[in-house]
Amino acid sequence: MGLRALLRLALGCLAPPRRPPLVQCALAGTGPRRLIAYLTGGSQGWILDFLWRDLTATSVWRDGEAPELLVASDRNSLASMMEGADAFVLVMFQGHLPRLLRDGIPAERVILYMSHVRIGLGLPDLSRLHGVLALNAHEEALLRMQGVESERLHRFPAGYDPRLFFPGRPLAQRRFDVLFVGRYVGSSNSNYHQRKRYALLCDLIGLLSHQGLRVAVLGNGWQACEYPLPAALELIDAPHSDYGTVYRQTRLVCSVSAQEGGPVSFLEGLVSGCLMLSVATGFAADFQSGVDGIWHLPLKAEAPLWCEQIQACLLAAQADPDLGSGVCSPARQAFLEAAQFERLALQLRQLCDQSLIGGSMERSDG
């Protein structure tokens, strides 16, 4: 018995639980090829679940050389899928990463999808991973400052389906002046509720309706909203396959969220030819404010300033035929090409086809 064990025994301390053994993957080309998404039960029905479905529905994975696509919901199922296979795991939430590495998942077999910074979530040395996917330029810059090498770091602006989302008619012919997109989540989910700033959003909706603007919210859960909403507000609860139709009836898409990795609604509104207004967060921060129909407001801006800016944006589109055309500018098109699911799936497939980058099969428990 070692000294530490004797000390624990003398002090009446329980021994720490034994860590699971390191998962032994096959060498490249010597076992079944697999790409496994790690999605716990809490991810079901949320954006990460939808993202995986959209990525795997593309034609990129249909040839005989493509890896098998699987989903694991816990460590044990993940380990059984990886054991003896030439496998990579796509960890869809960075909060799961430290535990998975401590529990024997080889770091060099991990691809991390990094959406946005979350306060209080520690991360291991990301340079041990096979790849890190950064959703936007800001997150990519933070990861570079953290020391993640360029060969492991990949921009991954996920994502939209161009078969569902495409430009519509000129803005003057569209039904809604302003659209807000997203489900309502109550204040019991404090982190999400504060990040989305529902109180500010509902105040803004009231001001816009008072100005006579036609306002809609696209998403579910709004019948349970804890804040007053005007009777004129149109609530649209539709399947995602119908979202494109709503965007093509909208002049301006607005988000007051304090922090985003995307959001997907920015891509969908952008490709639909809508004017876009948000805080300079996520994808929006990749664009200059006031150019190409995209505007930012400061994080501290209150509802009256948001209302004033929305009216200014709508007037600008009336005065500028290019802005009001509903057609994507070249700058928008260049950004959107890289965000199509087919392109993103190809990027992920190529990452799976790469050899391990300086990887070892030693235990990854720090």
> Sheet holding 234-236: strands in order across?
234-236, 215-218, 176-181, 250-254, 275-279, 294-297
Which one, of 36, 141, 175, 138, lies nearest residue 92 by Cα? Answer: 36
In this predicted structure, the answer to whether residue 327 has a pLDDT above a threshold of 60 is yes
Cα dihedral sign for 230, 234, 238, 244?
negative
Q: Determine contact, residues 340/159, Cβ cutoff 8 Å.
A: yes
State the Cα–Cα distance between residues 210 and 218, nearest whole angstrom: 20
Domains and CATH numbers, the chain: 17-159+341-353 (3.40.50), 171-337 (3.40.50.2000)
Matching residue, tokens 């005989």: 64
Three-state DSSP class for 98? Answer: helix
**pLDDT by residue (tens digit) across 179-217?**
999 999 999 988 889 989 999 999 999 999 999 999 999
Nearest to 107 by CA among 366, 293, 319, 285: 366
pLDDT reading at 104 higher than 50: yes
Query: What pLDDT, in 10s, does the model give residues 42-69?
Result: 777 678 888 999 999 999 999 989 999 9
* Element housing 154 (H / E): strand 153-155
Comparing 162 with 115, the larger pLDDT belongs to 162
**What residues form DSSP beta bridges with 37?**
71, 90
